[in-house]
A and B are shown apart, each in its own frame.
Chain A
Amino acid sequence: MRFAVVVFPGSNCDHDAYHAAKHVLGQDAELVWHKNTSLEGADVVILPGGFSHGDYLRTGAIARFSPIMAAVAEFARQGGPVLGICNGFQILLESGMLPGAMLRNRDLKFHCEHVHVAVERTDTPFTCQAVRGQVLKLPIAHGEGNYYADQDVIRTLESDGRIIFRYCRPDGQRDPRANPNGSVNDIAGICNEQRNVVGLMPHPERACELVLGSADGLVLFESVVSALTTQGALGAVASLLG
């Protein structure tokens, strides 16, 4: 299984995602420079956290123009699993691969802390090994994670079951106080129509070893590995849909 972790000049969680895939899961992993035009036969693509191009204007606004993004879009179009973490999620939004946009956190402050999210759906390559309703303790570290989309989009996301992670209390209950940034409907992560592109604000790659305070993030990586090993990339998604 080959993970491609895209490296934008301001990425700073690229090595964390690489470390999780390569050293914790023992999979193949490659760092792919954003100026490349090919993903060099990757099975999974991760857009990591960070500040891709400084992101002074809007998080992810400039990254979507990087040469590699065309390859990422094509990879996704063919059903390849793509995971956008934090800044990676923001890049997916800016590039239109996922709907909606990010506003600054409700309190205008950067938040770095552990939060809890409930896995709403297990029919994506990144959650197929999780149990529906499973609560994950994951770190967040962002200043612009306040997810927004207009009512119609939100309605579609809800009705199509495309909200994959929601902020919640440790017991899994939804609670405004458990929502760290003001995201609509406590949304922490969503997927595309094909369900193979998933974006989330929390950092599963920072929660893959107990010594770091939580290993709950492992399930996302294990899910995609199992999804792919059982049927191979395209089959994986097909079967999840069917």
Chain B
Amino acid sequence: MTDIDLAVLERHGLKRDEYDRIVRALGREPTMTELGIFSVMWSEHCSYKSSRVHLRKLPTTGTRVLQGPGENAGAVDVGHGLAAVFKIESHNHPSFIEPYQGAATGVGGIIRDIFTMGARPIALLNSLRFGSLDGPEGARTRRIVEGVVAGIAGYGNSIGIPTVGGEIAFDDSYAGNPLVNVFCLGIVRADALVKGSAAGTGNPVYYVGAKTGRDGIHGATMASAEFDEKSAEKRPAVQVGDPFMEKLLLEACLELMKTDALVGVQDMGAAGLTCSTSEMGARGGSGIEIDVSLVPQRETGMTPYEIMLSESQERMLLVVKKGREAEVEAIFEKWDLHAVHIGDVTTDGILRVTERGTVVAEIPNTALVDQAPVYDRPRTRPSYLDQVARLDESILADSRQPSSKDALFALLASPTIASKRWVYRQYDHMVRTNTLVLAGMGAGVVRIKGTPSALAISTDGNGRYTYLNPRLGAMLALAEAARNVACAGAVPIGATNCLNFGNPERPEIMWQFAEAVEGLGDACRALDVPITGGNVSLYNETDGQAIYPTPIIGVVGLIEDASRVVARAFRQAGDEVVVLGEHLGELGGSEYLSVVHGVVGGAPPRLDLDRERALIALLTRAASAGLLQSAHDCSDGGIAVTIAESAFDTSGIGVAVDLPRSISTAGTLFGESASRAVISVKPEHLGKLMALAGELGVPAARVGRTGGSSIAIRVDGRSELECSLAEAENIWSNALGKYFAGRAA
């Protein structure tokens, strides 16, 4: 019967041996529809076949963890009987094809993952990577940036979830493959967490939301293949987001979850109906039988194959208790949604798809979900590592440096460091009136209404570091995210991660991946921050050119007393400026080398996890004791940029400091040594702060005072850099917006 040849397999992104595996699992040749179903469920995106063996090494348990990896999102206990549900997910490939819709539907997808857990989403963040805004690809990149930012804004603003933070970096390695990673966090009563499982034989299975079209068919398989000129044809109809529909789904589902009529729910994300039916069945240890002819359809003449594989947005699959149908339908009707009964839960553990009664697919859920291939792919250490590790020290000779002031201004104007106001001003970051730290002022901080607490969230990752040293780069990413929430006064309690890498079938890439995951695991254990979930995005390559390996880590921190929240900016003149941590003058992999010398090389900053842990303890204890006026993590651009940024958005509070020289002047000012922060404290609190630092073994040095109208930096007593705060802030504030002035929307 089957006309399945290698060409067909190729189109489905299936290898010959994977096909044989399918035949074994079924005990027969699959039908075309079944092949389609296997192809998406066994795609890299859905099956994690290349990453699974490594992800197992991540610590996923802890006293606060209520839900680890495996459900639609993870959850941690935040006290007061509440849970924070959060996850990060990538939408890289769709955003490259259609920036606005790709980014918008990415936001839509992660929001669904959160409210399917029963949580009310209260915060969004995003981590973005683009090519350089200048140069040959500059024009295209600027279009992509405008589209992605507008898409994130268009979706989040409309549905009314504040986008409270995130980060953006620009580097040529992302020119042909931008990264769009979106994070969402929601709050739910800990005892009301909803699972995505189908149980209870005879319980009805409902479809609700947008109608099914031919959108994104094979989106999942596409997200698992590199781009090349041919992928143009492979392109599925682009998915268009409908935030209003999602808003209706969000409210209706949360209303339904207040009743006990719901058994389980899952959004139809990647691999749509196929993924939701089989995963829910597998989780519930049961089967699901649906009739595709009952599925609401937007287009005519859709085949079962197309209906099962469609990735139309804003659709949910629900299993409800038998006998409660009327009640459930009424709730959706209130929101002008029509829940359609498309099938039922069965005992036999089989995903059975019928079309007007005739069976078109019959597959054991376990075959799709658990028996998916798992690969321990070959790994080899990339040879480039040795070349980049060597750094021509002579460029660091002070004689060859531009003036420190020029270097600082160049860094402040670098899009990666410059103010992102042009971006976050387009995001509604205040809706729901929980936002305690306004966008751009540090980690995203939202209060938890009805409790005295707040949550701080930061997403971070440095592709350059990870390129130079995958293991260390991933550790530094987790450390920076944790440090950022600590700077807001929050104790890190959980993390999620999005691992953006190249083609895992290349041993060098697989090596980077394995190293990064191990580093991440070590850092999580040392800082005692469990991973509750995440997402893996592989094949981030264009024409064989891989992006920098880029793990993005989202860390969630808890602030017991929301009134103790700390932000980046100085609060008043006359406060003491203190630098926490040790300066090692490390320039390897720094923004300085890249921006000022056009060099990407050297070793990324060392990371001593005990020191990082101590710094985090100090920051959070000092904050809760009310000792901190401001706190700012030291990262891209080093201490000079960190000090300057602490003076920005203060309506003119300058600063004068004297720093100890470490190795070179450039290293002192622009080195990116880890585990450091710049804080300001009231003079009367300096003693207490220093005592606490001593107690916790954190190097702390009072380096100067806030005040005046300039940024003045001395090194070992010698004046090294002095500039007008207004001039510096002006450069930093307008650098990014300049690229987009007067372009058509």
Contacts and interface: CB of A to CB of B under 8 A. Distances in A.
B159 interface: yes
A9 B336 contact: yes
A50 B427 contact: no
B149 to A, nearest CB: 9
Contact of B432 (A10, A15, A139): A15
A213 interface: yes
B433 A206 contact: yes
Contacts of A12: 158-160, 247, 431-432
Given A9-B251, A12-B160, A213-B438, A110 B428 contact: yes
Sort chain B's interface into a size bin: 20 to 34
Given A10-B244, A212-B436, A139 B563 contact: no
B426 interface: yes
Interface in B143-159: 153-154, 157-159
Contacts of B242: 54
Interface residues of A, number: 33
B425 A113 contact: yes
Interface in B234-283: 242-245, 247-248, 251
Contacts of A19: 433, 449
Contacts of B158: 10, 12, 51, 54-55
Nearest to A212: B433
B562 interface: yes
Contact of A112 (B243, B426, B449, B563): B426
A111 B563 CA distance: 28
B436 A51 contact: no
Contacts, number: 88
A208 B430 CA distance: 13
Interface in B314-338: 335-336
A109 B426 contact: yes
A85 to B, nearest CB: 12
B433 A112 contact: no
Nearest to A112: B428
B87 interface: no
Nearest to B454: A211
Interface in A93-116: 108-113
A217 B424 CA distance: 23
A111 B433 contact: no
B568 interface: no
A53 B242 CA distance: 11
Interface in A1-34: 9-13, 15-16, 19-20
A13 B425 contact: no
A113 B158 CA distance: 16
Given A9-B251, A10-B158, A110-B153, A212 B244 contact: no
B745 interface: yes
B368 to A, nearest CB: 35
Given A54-B242, A209-B433, A111 B425 contact: yes
A205 B247 CA distance: 21
A67 to B, nearest CB: 13
Given A9-B335, A12-B160, A19-B449, A112 B244 contact: no
B447 interface: yes
B157 A53 contact: no
Interface in A107-141: 108-113, 139, 141
B433 A54 contact: no
Given A9-B336, A12-B160, A112 B425 contact: yes
Most buried by A among B428, B436, B449: B428
B426 A54 contact: no
B429 interface: yes
Interface in A147-200: none
13 contacts: A9-B248, A10-B247, A12-B160, A12-B247, A51-B157, A54-B243, A109-B426, A111-B425, A112-B425, A112-B429, A139-B430, A212-B435, A212-B436
Interface of B: 153-154, 157-160, 242-245, 247-248, 251, 335-336, 424-433, 435-436, 438, 447, 449, 562-563, 744-745
Interface of A: 9-13, 15-16, 19-20, 49-51, 53-56, 108-113, 139, 141, 143, 203, 205-206, 208-209, 211-213
List 8 tightest A-B contacts by C-beta distance, closest first.
Answer: A12-B160, A54-B244, A108-B745, A141-B428, A51-B158, A112-B428, A16-B433, A110-B426
